[in-house]
Structures are given as C-alpha cells and as structure tokens.
Amino acid sequence: MDKFQQYVNANQDRFIAELQDFCRQPSVAAQNWGMSEMADKVLARLQKLGARAQIIPVADGAPVVYAEIGEGKRTLVIYDHYDVQPPEPLELWESGPWDAAIRDGKLFARGVADNKGNLMCRIQAVEAYRATLGALPLKIKFVVEGEEEIGSIHLPQFVKENRALLEGADGCLWEAGYKDVNERPVISCGVKGIAYVELHARGANRDLHSANAAIVVNPAWRLTWALATLKDADDNILVDDFMKHVRAPTDAEMDALETIPYDEDKVKADLGIKSFIRNLTGIELLKKYLYEPTCTICGLYSGYIGEGSKTVLPNHAFAKIDFRLVPDLSPDLVVDLLKKHLARRGFADIEVVLTETGEEVARSPLDSAVVRAAIEAAKRVYPQAPVVYPTMAGSGPMYPLCQQLGIPAVGAGVGWHDSRSHAPNESVRLADYFEGIEFIRELIDQFAR
C-alpha cells in the first residue's frame, strides 16, 4: 500500500461523511429545491481543496461552480453536476432519499450515483494526490453545473459567456460511469441527444360526470389515439420522416459493438424481464441500445388516479415524452416533425410543449488521448478489463461543453449496474467509490504523460 492509498484509508470515515453531507442536501432542479444551498456546498468543498473556485452566475438559471487547480502541459476538464432528479415516488424508498443511509456496504440517496458520488470522489482524489504525491502534473478545471437533470438548459449560454475558460483544454472527464452486471468498468465516449416534450389534450371547460362521455370529447382518449400514432407495438417510431434522419452507424461504429461483452441474461434477470424489445440479442440489441433513437412515455396522466373508482369524464390529459436522439436528429427538428405529424393526423388540438431546450448528440474519437488514458487507468485499477462504449444510451451536454470546442470527452465513474439512477433506492457501493478515487489518481498520471 503506497502513501496515496494509506491517506485514503486513514481518511475513509471523513470522506464518507463528506459524501453524505452532499447527499443530504436536496438539490432538485426540476423543483428548484435547494439549488443555491448545494452550489454553496460545492464551492466550499472546492475552496477547501485549495482550488481557485468561484460561483459563476447564469442568467435565469442555476449557477455553475467553476474551479481550477494544478499546472501542467495538459488541461483536463472535469464535468459534474450538483443537481439531482426528483425523488418521487417517495413510498418506494427503503430509506429516505435524503438520509444517505448506509446498508450492506452501499450508500443510498437520490443523486449519489448521478452524480454527487462522482463529484466528491474526484475532489477527494485530487486532495489525496496533492497530500501524498505532490503537485498535480496537469491543470484541472472543474465545471459543476446545476441543471443537468433538466437538460442543461443554460449551459450553452454559460459556455458562450465563458468560452475562454474552456478553450484549448485537452480532454474532459465526463460525469458518470458504472460497472456492468459482470463487474466490468464501463467507459463511454459519447451521449445521445434528447428532446423532452409534453403533450396536452383538453376537453370541456371542466371535469364532467362520465355519463356525458357518449357525446362530449374525452381528452384522455384523444391523447391515447395521438400517442398510438407515434410508435407501433413493435417499437418502431412512426413520427413522419423521423427515421429518415437517422444516419446508419459506420462500419467502425458497428465494429466497436463487437468489443462489448454485454451479459444479456444477467441484465434480464436483474431487471426481471423475460426478453428485450423485439426479442433482440447480440449485436442487434446493442445497435438498438446505443445507435437508435427512442420515443419514451415518461409520464401519463388524466382524471382520477386515486383508490377505488370515480366515474369522471376528464377535461385534461397529458403525457411527458422523452426522445433520445442519434445523428442526425436534433431537438428542434424532432419537435417540428412531431407537430407536423400530429396536425396531419387530425390532432392539431393537442398542444406540444418542448419542456427544455433539448440536447444535441455528441461522440468523441475512440483514439483520443483522454479516452486512451481512461482505458489505461481502468486497466491498472480494476480487476476486470474495461468495456468501451462508443456512446452512452443516455444524454448530457457533451456537445456544447466539449464537442463544439473540439475537446474529446470520456465517461467513467463509481456507479454499479444496479445504481438505480433516476429511480427509488439509488445507490453506490462504497468499495466502488474508493476504487474510483484510485482510478482518478491513475487517470491524472496517465493523461499528464
């Protein structure tokens, strides 16, 4: 055990307590809950680290916490976010989402995997590095935003206003990563885009007794019929012209899938499903997972949803829908196609609202220095060899923060295959967390070379 590891071991209890402190502060961007308190906590921790840290306001948005530390030939941007998803449904949590309770070697909290665990792990790794190995061999720039879970709506504006802070960086460590069902660390080199919309259907000027349903329009039915035109039961997206904009993966992109050992049986057992959509397996499954767009009902509401029965004809129905995008789809294009599609089918009465500005697709070259450094660091730290995903199935602001500035980005982090991001009982395993600290130390050394 070297000095770095000894330091981490000696400070283990404090490190966990600091992570709990982050997790006990609610910071739900969608509900504007606890945002400035959380930004202050991040600022204070980065200042304690010895970084030149500041809160950079963004007009009408949650501020960005920005910090610089170290000097060297190369510059590494570390991107994280201090906001989290809403904790609902609360009744499904075994311990409170803000309790940060520890059970069976895991810390349970909303946001611990996505993304407070990674943020704190990276800060503590830098602390341990400087305390035991000396000055950092590169410059690190922390960019910690507060709106990732609502589509990073103001991050493009932040980049526009602070371009000089980011330009010329050599690589970016993206916010997250996890171990797959076979404990292999997953490294990812891109994100899908996203367009999150609400569809609203409206009926009479008030809820009515359902006896009126024989002759008065029911918005819950209108919404159902409209939704059913968007995707068929074989999971084909039917929005007019949508699939025309999907660029087929290149041979190189398809080859990259061959290197991913995806344990389908374990994933299915873990999720409690008998098969994947369309009974897909192998390369076709990975292709759909990583290279195809989605159209997902994330929320659906109309009328009475309490216990028992209420014979009501509702006057409002809505759906929340998330489209995950691949090249060459963009958020604005999708909203435009969706509106035209609905109007063409007689659903012009259904209001389409883009609830966020959306996010563009981004992918980094697999042979860029930061990707190679992450792979090498993972090989040195983890018992299992890393798996490299050309893109995540998820989204994030990689385009405005990195790709448009020519900065390659790579995702790696302390999650595990059952971290339950965005769902009740989100967790990280503490063993993964401390391995993650070791990974950051190796990444620093590898990338500084």
Site for its own copies in 267-326 (CB under 8 A): 271-273, 276-277, 280, 285, 288-290, 292, 294, 296-314, 317-320, 322, 324
Is residue 1 at the binding interface for its own copies, with CB under 8 A as the rule? Answer: no
Stretch that binds its own copies, among 39-47, 124-132, 224-232, 377-385 (CB under 8 A): 224-232
Nearer Cβ to its own copies (29/155): 29
Is residue 261 at the binding interface for its own copies, with CB under 8 A as the rule? Answer: no
Is residue 86 at the binding interface for its own copies, with CB under 8 A as the rule? Answer: yes
CB of 206 vs its own copies, minimal distance in Å: 6
- Could you tell me which of 241, 32, 64 has the C-alpha nearest to residue 141? 64
CB of 172 vs its own copies, minimal distance in Å: 20
400-419 residues in contact with its own copies (CB under 8 A) are none
Q: How far apart are CA 182 and CA 165, in angstroms?
A: 39
CB of 93 vs its own copies, minimal distance in Å: 12
In the list 56, 217, 254, 260, the residue contacting its own copies (rule: CB under 8 A) is 217
Stretch that binds its own copies, among 73-81, 99-107, 143-151, 155-163 (CB under 8 A): 143-151
Token digits for 404?
Answer: 């448009």
Q: How far apart are CA 379 and CA 385, in angstroms?
A: 6
Q: What is the dihedral of CA 172, 174, 178, 180, to 10 degrees?
A: -70
Give residue for tokens 């991913």. 260
**Beta 178-179 vs 185-188: how paired, if at all?**
antiparallel
Which residues contact residue 289 at a Cβ distance below 8 angstroms, ignoring those fewer than 6 apart?
A: 393
In the list 5, 99, 101, 225, the residue contacting its own copies (rule: CB under 8 A) is 225
- Could you tell me which of 1, 75, 77, 4 has the C-alpha nearest to residue 442? 4
Nearer Cβ to its own copies (1/305): 305
Number of residues that bind its own copies (CB under 8 A): 92
CB of 275 vs its own copies, minimal distance in Å: 9
Overall residue count recorded for the chain in this entry? 449
Burial class (CB in 10 A: 0-12, 13-18, 19+), 292: middle
Q: Is the dihedral of CA 300, 303, 307, 310 positive or negative?
A: negative
Nearer Cβ to its own copies (289/382): 289
425-444 residues in contact with its own copies (CB under 8 A) are 425
CB of 242 vs its own copies, minimal distance in Å: 14
CB of 415 vs its own copies, minimal distance in Å: 10
Site string for its own copies, 350-389 (x = CB under 8 A): -----xx---------------------------------
Stretch that binds its own copies, among 5-13, 27-35, 60-68, 397-405 (CB under 8 A): 27-35
CA angle 86, 92, 93 (to 5 degrees): 70
CB of 60 vs its own copies, minimal distance in Å: 15
CB of 19 vs its own copies, minimal distance in Å: 21
DSSP string over 387-404? EEESS-SSB-THHHHTGG
Is residue 335 at the binding interface for its own copies, with CB under 8 A as the rule? Answer: no
Site string for its own copies, 107-136 (x = CB under 8 A): ------------------------------
157-186 residues in contact with its own copies (CB under 8 A) are none
126-139 CB burial, b ≥16 within 10 A, e <16? bbbbeeebeebbbb
CA atoms within 13 A on the CB side of 293: 32
CB 435 within 8 A of CB 179: no
Q: Is 252 helix (H, G, I), strand (E, B) or coil?
A: helix
Nearer Cβ to its own copies (67/150): 150
CB of 388 vs its own copies, minimal distance in Å: 17
Which residues contact residue 83 at a Cβ distance below 8 angstroms, ignoring those fewer than 6 apart?
A: 27, 28, 29, 35, 38, 62, 111, 145, 146, 147, 148, 149, 150
Nearer Cβ to its own copies (56/216): 216
Give residue for tokens 């400087």. 130
Site string for its own copies, 226-245 (x = CB under 8 A): -xx--xxx-x----------
Q: How far apart are CA 4 and CA 434, in angstroms?
A: 12
Is residue 96 at the binding interface for its own copies, with CB under 8 A as the rule? Answer: no
